[in-house]
Amino acid sequence: MSMVRVYAKDVNLEEAERTWLKLIRLDEDHPSQVFVCRMEVFSKAGESIKSSETFRKMQEVLNSYNVALYHKIIEVLYEAEKVELSELLIQELVQGGMKSLTPSLIAIMYMYLNLNLHDKLESAFSSCLEKCRSNQNVHVIYVDSLVKAGNLDKVEEIFNHVCNYKTISVNARPCNTVLSGCLSFGYHVKAEIIYDLMCQRKYDIESSSMEKPESVLILSRKAVRKPSILKLGKEQREILVGLLFQWFAN
């Protein structure tokens, strides 16, 4: 098995296939890991269709419908951006009543995001809400999609929902996404609100947002509103204390 992985790493498809066939002949039980290795080999060689065929062969030989194996092949197809095959497997998962759908749904949502298939992504997001537990990654991907599509009103609704939902924490990534979208589409008031929130929670603001011309207006407003705080080094503090003592002595 380790030799198959070595050949997979080197993308030596011929040797990997020869070793895989030997394993099949030697091991009558045909463990699923043997098929998974073959799927990985084809995936790294850019042969996602053959990975899918290997998955189907495994189902036929092992009569196995393990959800973890579905997650693996959907991950392979997502990376290859094979939309129809990925959707077919997702349908099988749902129709089969399998649990733990979240990893596969997240993978297909990422694929839709990369391909700008925002309507499909929204449908997958709805499926996640219906069939899975609340998940931060699912909401973050959906926010990314809404921002890319310019649907800032919907972004505000989802972002507020996430902020108020105890089981879904908000971190710097969605905040930066929303801030960038608000600046790009001219929602300066909303951008200012997000900026305030990020400052309050001490989130790092991506330099790409601060390089936008629109950000200058927000930062200038904050500079006027925010009281200046004098920060002194140790030596400067000692000098200042000495001057104060001299002043009181006089």
Q: Report yes or no on 194 lying in a domain.
A: no
* b/e map 16-48, b = 16+ CB within 10 Å: bbebbeebeeeeeeeebebbbbbbbbbbbbebb
pLDDT score, position 79 = 87
Domain around 13 = 1-64
- Give mean pLDDT in consecutive 10-residue pieces for the chain, a chain of 250 residues: 52 67 64 76 81 85 79 89 91 83 93 96 92 85 93 86 71 88 85 85 82 61 45 59 52
Specify the number of domains making up the chain: 1
Half-sphere exposure of 185 (CA within 13 A, CB side): 18
User: Is 4 a domain residue?
Assistant: yes
User: Residue 116: its pLDDT value, please?
Assistant: 95
- 54 in any annotated domain: yes
- The answer to whether position 20 is within a domain reads yes
Domain assignment of residue 55, yes or no: yes
User: What is this structure's pTM?
Assistant: 0.74
In a domain, 166, yes or no: no
Q: Is residue 25 part of a domain?
A: yes
pLDDT for the residue numbered 146: 94
Residue 1 placed within a domain: yes
